Chains A and B, each alone.
Chain A
Amino acid sequence: AQKITQTQPGMFVQEKEAVTLDCTYDTSDPSYGLFWYKQPSSGEMIFLIYQGSYDQQNATEGRYSLNFQKARKSANLVISASQLGDSAMYFCAMREGPINFGNEKLTFGTGTRLTIIP
């Protein structure tokens, strides 16, 4: 079974609209972390946002927020007021296990290609 599922291979969104990129995950470990990365056409991987499984509040970083629904095992990325520079590939990733046990391995989803239309 896929540990990270991103069901939207591609999305087209009008500039200035809000965007939600879907991510569902599968783990039996009560301790885990969820990450979102952005990969522009230049190829580099840019860290956007992190959510820990025990965090009480949804993570936010500027225009990025993570809609964390633990019972549904979903961790959707929300981008408010989209900009042309948001056009990129977006990856959801998960680290399983407590952070104090050296569990650093990340499992990635297949990504969503977001295109912002002027």
Chain B
Amino acid sequence: NAGVTQTPKFQVLKTGQSMTLQCAQDMNHEYMSWYRQDPGMGLRLIHYSVGAGITDQGEVPNGYNVSRSTTEDFPLRLLSAAPSQTSVYFCASSYSSLKGGINYGYTFGSGTRLTVV
């Protein structure tokens, strides 16, 4: 039972490069989300999705794109990396209350540590 799988675990990018952070879950969770964690700021929501084909912006969406073509996958794309995007990125999933699930706890991936130089 893999839970939430994030790849890669570590990545170094040059300013201006693009890349995709992968997130996959095998728990049939409808809700998936991306957070970034910066020192002293906790976790901040970037984008989220309540099901395949449905995405929406969180607190800090600028510079990131997402899509949700399947229930299992929720990739996060950095369009043109900037040093301000140096952070640890977490993907999280849960059952969605829209589909009758009760969300008492989210499952997080192990994180991707991204450095933009």
Say whether, besides A43-B88, A45-B90, A45-B108, A105 and B102 are in contact (CB < 8 Å): no
Q: Taking CB as reference atom, which chain B residue is nearest A102? A: B98
Stretch of B15-23, B42-50, B69-77, B78-86 on the interface side: B42-50
B97 within 8 A of A: yes
Chain A hits for B111, CB < 8 A: 43-44
Of chain A, the residue at the smallest CB distance from B108 is A45
> Which chain B residues lie closer than 8 Å to A50 at the CB level?
104-105
CA distance A37 to B94 in the complex (A): 15
Q: Is the CB of B105 within 8 A of A35?
A: yes
A99 touches B58 (CB 8 A): no
| Chain B minimum-CB-distance residue to A50 | B104
Given the complex of chains A and B, what is the CA–CA distance between A12 and B55 in angstroms?
Answer: 41
Task: Judge if A7 is at the interface, Cβ distance under 8 Å.
Answer: no
Q: How far is the CA of A102 from the CA of B54 in the complex (A)?
A: 12
- In the complex with contacts A44-B110, A44-B111, A105-B103 CB distance below 8 A: no
**A46, closest chain B residue (CB):** B108
Contact A95 B103 (CB under 8 A): yes
> In the complex, A106→B106 CA distance in Å?
9
Say yes or no: A110 contacts B96, CB within 8 Å.
no
The answer to whether B97 and A100 have CB atoms under 8 Å apart is yes
Interface assignment of A103: CB less than 8 Å from any CB of chain B: yes
Q: Is the pair B92, A110 in contact by a Cβ cutoff of 8 Å?
A: no
Q: Name the residue of chain A whose CB is nearest to the CB of B48.
A: A105
- Interface positions of B (Cβ within 8 A of A): 31, 33, 35, 40-45, 48, 50, 58, 88, 90, 92, 94, 96-98, 102-108, 110-111
Interfacial residues, chain A to chain B (CB-CB below 8 A): 4, 33, 35, 37, 43-45, 47, 50, 91, 93, 95, 98-111
8 contacts between A and B (CB under 8 A): A44-B108, A98-B97, A99-B102, A102-B98, A106-B92, A107-B45, A110-B42, A111-B42
